[in-house]
Amino acid sequence: MVIPLIESIFKLKMLPRHGWLEHDVPRARVESVASHSYGTAILLVILDLLDLIPPHLSLEKLLKIALLHDLAESETGDVTPRSGVTPEEKSQAERDAFSRIFHGDSRFNILNEMGSLFAGLDEPGPPCNRKPDEYQFFKQVDKLDMMIQAIMYEREFDMNLKEFHEPVEKYLHGDALKRFFKEIKENL
């Protein structure tokens, strides 16, 4: 049934990203989980327009991942490393939430369609060769959105959030994305 999906989408519009709250960004200015998902999707469109997405990757799949990757947080909340939840527990809780959200409506077989992409999204540890290319690229764009948001908060609130964007190599692995971030950082 489509109702659980609609409810989840609207919950994400109001759910703040807790990592920013934990770092003293004022609650009234903290982006929502939905804002973050939108930000990753818009970044993918920009990267595509600039021909910075490897040609063998599917923009359609990347956009679906961007828009749906945090949907489970409508049930689990935005779990951060400071939450005291292990990566394995977080991953299992999110898989369970996805199953509940999409349960019972074969028209929304996104989990089947996306298959291993969603299965690997929040597995603990760094991306590795066994994960699909779209997953590996998307995780960098997910981090790119976080890095840009951190810089925006630093500017707006005169705070230090360098742990969210330095060193760049911690978050971005491709030279094109590193150059793209460097240009943004230097010109914001």
**Contact yes or no for 165/150 (Cβ under 8 A):** yes
CA distance 6 to 28: 24
Domain segments of the chain as ranges: 3-146
In tens, the pLDDT along 24-46 reads 999 999 999 999 999 999 999 99
Topology, domain 3-146: Hypothetical protein af1432 (1.10.3210)
In tens, the pLDDT along 105-162 reads 666 665 555 444 555 555 544 444 445 788 889 999 999 999 999 999 999 999 999 9
DSSP string, 124-152: SS---TTS-HHHHHHHHHHHHHHHHHHHH
